[in-house]
Amino acid sequence: MAKLTPDEIVRRGEEIYNEKFREEYEKKYHDSFVVIDIETGKIYRSQTPEKAFVTARTNAPGGVFCLLRVGSPDAFRMGPIASHAYNRSL
């Protein structure tokens, strides 16, 4: 696969999720994290992003992955405290 930008990886991961997994996963696994191998379309689910990535890397060491949170538009949200801490470090 040609080298992809982060935006292209996310776009492809979201396409795969929406086409193959959204309906089932939104009902069964709300708030779980999924890592999608965008080259194979295989999905790895866990309650934490770290565990999902470990499982994905173990099964597909050369994979290109997209992280999503089931039922959420973002994998992570930055609240006011985290935003303030981030801005102070710049």
pLDDT digits (tens, 9 = 90+) for 18-32: 999 999 999 999 999
Separation of alpha carbons 50 and 53, rounded Å: 5
Alpha-helical runs (H) found in the chain = 6-16, 22-28, 49-59, 80-89
Q: Is residue 1 part of a domain?
A: no
Note down pLDDT in tens along the chain; length 90 residues.
578 999 999 999 999 999 999 999 999 999 999 999 999 999 999 999 999 999 999 999 999 999 999 988 665 554 554 444 444 444
Task: Enter the pTM of the model.
Answer: 0.78
Give me the domain span that covers residue 42. Answer: 6-89
Q: Is residue 66 part of a domain?
A: yes
Q: Is residue 64 part of a domain?
A: yes
Give the number of domains in the chain. 1
Residues in the chain, overall count: 90
Separation of alpha carbons 12 and 17, rounded Å: 9
Residue 50 has a pLDDT of 95
